[in-house]
């Protein structure tokens, strides 16, 4: 991976995980260039990429700032254009999980395609309900190649992304498809809703800092319990 890409990924993760807080002044270009052992020219390229994504902005003579995001409401889910999970989008609230299924098996053709893996590569299959402040929040069906990192049920009761981060696996990009779907019998029982109740669905393929697909998941949300946010930033040249 090119050095600028590594630096971009690290700074972006620091912003998304609130290490660099929204609205705050970032370290100076001299400090960042020294920290990452890169030239000012390379750093400016990194800051330009972050600026194009709407994550930072510069003020002449003042420095580079983390761009404030729209105010969150208690029932709002993660922004659709940010590669972070519910633990980060609801840092001040109580998040818990109930594991319904955890096993390893061979992937289906669809999972092979989305994860770019062979038919004989084993994957974890995870089904769990996420709770926000004690209330049903989402029903997650996750597929992950077993080679990514060893998992156990204890890990699944917490944030999988936090655990992967401890293994230096960072989610930096994701492809998300959003649609509506009627709750089937499994979803109905897991989420405590009526059969055929309308559900909001996010189908996601997640990529790490090396560009590898490491997760394919389908998450379902009760229609009147969730809100979606998408910030649009126009690039000017």
pLDDT grade, residue 233 (50/70/90)? low
Residue 70 has a pLDDT of 55
- pLDDT above 60 (res 159): yes
Query: Is there a domain that residue 8 lies in?
Result: yes
- pLDDT above 80 (res 229): no
Claim to verify: residue 46 and residue 137 sit in the same structural domain = no
Query: Is there a domain that residue 83 lies in?
Result: yes
Question: Would residue 136 be called left, alpha or beta, if left means φ above 0 and alpha means ψ between -120 and 50 degrees?
Answer: beta
Q: What is the mean pLDDT of residues 114-143?
A: 95
- pLDDT above 80 (res 66): yes
pTM over 0.85: no
The last residue of one of the domains, among 37, 66, 95, is 66
Q: What is the mean pLDDT of residues 69-75?
A: 52
Domain that holds residue 207: 76-229
Claim to verify: residue 104 and residue 194 sit in the same structural domain = yes
Claim to verify: residue 111 and residue 222 sit in the same structural domain = yes
> Which of the residue ranges 75-89, 121-135, 169-183 has the most confident prediction, judged by mean pLDDT?
121-135
CA 117, CA 129: separation in Å to the nearest integer? Answer: 27
Q: What is the mean pLDDT of residues 202-230?
A: 87
Q: For residue 52, what is the domain's CATH number?
A: 1.10.10.10
Structural element, H or E, at residue 125: strand 123-132
Query: Is there a domain that residue 71 lies in?
Result: no
- pLDDT above 90 (res 211): no
- Do the beta carbons of residue 183 and residue 193 sit within 8 Å? yes
- pLDDT above 80 (res 145): yes
Claim to verify: residue 119 and residue 199 sit in the same structural domain = yes
- pLDDT above 50 (res 237): no
Claim to verify: residue 57 and residue 99 sit in the same structural domain = no
More confident residue, 67 or 83: 67
Claim to verify: residue 90 and residue 144 sit in the same structural domain = yes
């Amino acid at each position: 991976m090119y050095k600028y890409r590594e630096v971009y990924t690290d700074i972006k993760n620091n912003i998304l995980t609130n290490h660099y807080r929204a609205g705050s002044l970032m370290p100076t270009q001299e400090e960042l260039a020294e920290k990452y052992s890169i030239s000012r020219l390379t750093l400016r390229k990194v800051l330009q990429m972050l600026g194009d994504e709407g994550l930072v902005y510069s003020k002449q003579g003042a420095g580079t700032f983390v761009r404030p995001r729209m105010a969150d409401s208690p029932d709002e889910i993660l922004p659709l254009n940010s590669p972070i999970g519910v633990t980060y989008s609801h840092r001040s609230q109580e998040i818990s999980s109930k594991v319904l299924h955890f096993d390893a098996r061979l992937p289906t053709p669809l999972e092979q395609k989305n994860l770019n893996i062979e038919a004989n590569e084993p994957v974890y299959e995870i089904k769990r309900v996420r709770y926000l402040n004690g209330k049903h929040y989402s029903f997650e069906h996750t597929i992950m190649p077993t080679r990514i990192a060893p998992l156990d049920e204890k890990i699944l009761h917490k944030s999988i992304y936090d655990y992967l981060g401890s293994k230096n696996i960072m989610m930096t990009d994701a492809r998300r498809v959003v649609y509506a779907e009627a709750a089937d019998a499994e979803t109905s029982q897991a989420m405590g809703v009526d059969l055929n109740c309308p559900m909001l669905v996010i189908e996601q393929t997640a990529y790490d800092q090396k560009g590898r697909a490491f997760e394919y998941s389908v998450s379902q949300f009760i229609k009147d319990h969730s809100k979606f946010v998408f910030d649009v930033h126009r690039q000017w040249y």
